[in-house]
Amino acid sequence: MSSSTSAPGSGPLTDAGPVSLCAREPHVPADRLVAEMVPPPRFDSVRFATYLPDPNQPSQSEAVRVLEGFAAGLGGAHAVGGGKRGFLGFGRAKAPKTPAGPRGVYLDGGYGVGKTHLLASLWHATPAEPALKAFGTFVELTNLVGALGFQQTVRTLSGHRLLCIDEFELDDPGDTVLVSTLLGKLVEAGVALAATSNTLPGKLGEGRFAAADFLREIQGLSAHFRALRIDGEDYRHRGLPEAPAPFTDEEVTKAAYATEGASLDDFPHLLEHLAKVHPSRYGALTDGLRAVCLTGVRPVPDQSTALRLVVLADRLYDREVPVLASGLPFDRLFSEEMLNGGYRKKYFRAISRLTALARDAKGLVGS
């Protein structure tokens, strides 16, 4: 396997054969983190009009109606006044007191019901220039705090009209306190919030850490949102065939060498490499890729590794990168214990998304 590549995490791929993700160690500057807080490529062109509600699930049509009204209500002057806003949010008028009632919407539902589609549609429909609205995953938001510092993040995002947070799931009590405090500050500054999750805000952290010890913070988060339940089955499997069977190592390797812009890695080695790269950089890790080819897929060995793989699957799905693999099928990645534990919804989402990407990759064999 060739590990030839340009500077880690940047630049075009060479045509000297497939690159190795294990050879990449991307570093993402803070200004890129801010600039890239927009819907990812898969959701760049989605709109409310392109969302296809399941006629058997009225909550889906109701969610569209509520979100369209929410977007329309954000069309006035920004709540913090008319002061000029610099790149990092300096120079605005003093923020008003916290508005009464929820200042955001929270899309709750199972994986594959179109929550991210709706969240991105809300971002697009909000009548404000892109620099005044932000879209990112929960891990990207927490990493922004790590890169800029808490106070600077508050100043940066306080100038926005809308903050959209995808995949809102709290994995440790430190994140609970951090995000609760951050969102409280942003609500005080007049920023509207929207989030998606598989877990109601009052249930965040359940089954993962001692949520009862942080009940005040969790309830504080819940108070910021009006929850919208979206029912339905996973659209990625609605009327579609089962996941394709894995290919052989030889088929995957040949496809990697025959596909421009492909990567080729041994799955266990890739899992080891992910432990050395912060999950917030997994998007940069996949820069320029047109396909990911993996040999020797097998069950993940532990929960920490599994959660890192979930984030990688999300970034590949966002960027519409097909995944060709040998070994076990993706629905056997996680143990029964994992699929019955506190992170089960994350794991089912990862299986769903990787299965969709595996379908996208079928044409690479023999191409």
The three-point CA angle 140-39-125 to 5° equals: 130
324, β-bridge pairs: 293
Q: Which of 11-15, 21-25, 35-39 has the lowest mean pLDDT?
A: 11-15
The CATH code belonging to domain 21-27+237-364 is 3.40.50
The DSSP annotation for 160-181 comes to -SEEEEES----SHHHHHHHHH
Kind of pairing, strands 225-230 and 133-137?
unpaired
Query: Within 13 Å, how many C-alpha atoms sit on residue 50's CB side?
Result: 16
Q: Which residues fall within 8 angstroms of residue 81, CB to CB, at 6 or more apart?
A: 92, 93, 94
Q: How far is CA 365 from CA 3, 9, 247, 316, 351, in A?
A: 21, 27, 9, 19, 21
Q: How far apart are CA 209 and CA 177, in angstroms?
A: 13
Phi first, then psi: what are they for 163, rounded to 5°? Answer: -120, 120
**How much is the pLDDT for 67?**
96
**If you average pLDDT over residues 12-26, what whole number do you get?**
80
Angle between helices 150-158 and 173-188 (to 10 degrees): 40
Mean pLDDT computed over 177-183: 87
pLDDT of res. 76: 58
Joined tokens for residue 20: 């190795």
> Per residue in 227-249, pLDDT tens?
888 988 766 655 544 667 899 99
Q: What average pLDDT score do residues 183-208 get?
A: 75
Query: How large is the average pLDDT for residues 278-300?
Result: 94
CB atoms within 10 A of CB 161: 21
Residues 6+ apart with CB under 8 A from 22: 3, 265, 269, 270, 272, 273
Q: For the chain, report the end-to-end CA distance as a whole number of angstroms.
A: 19
Asked if 21-27+237-364 and 55-232 have one fold, the answer is yes
Q: Top-level CATH class of 55-232?
A: alpha beta
> Per residue in 258-279, is it b (16+ CB within 10 Å) or e — as a string?
ebeebbbbbbbbbbebbeebbb
- List all residues 6 or more positions away from 50 whose beta carbon is below 8 Å from its beta carbon: 117, 121
pLDDT > 70 fraction of the chain, expressed in percent and rounded? 78
Return left, alpha or beta for 111; rule: phi > 0 is left, psi -120 to 50 is alpha, else beta.
Answer: beta
Q: Is the dihedral of CA 331, 333, 336, 339 positive or negative?
A: negative
Q: How far, in Å, are 34, 79, 363 from residue 83 at the CA level? A: 21, 11, 53
Report yes or no: 301 and 52 within 8 Å, Cβ to Cβ.
Answer: no
Give the start-to-end residue ranges of the domains of the chain.
21-27+237-364, 55-232
Give me the pLDDT at residue 55, please.
92
User: What is the predicted pLDDT for the residue at 367?
Assistant: 55
Q: Name the pTM for this structure.
A: 0.77
Number of H helices, E strands in the chain: 13, 8
Whether residue 292 contacts residue 322, with contact meaning beta carbons closer than 8 Å, is answered with yes
Joined together, the tokens standing for residue 215 give 């009940």
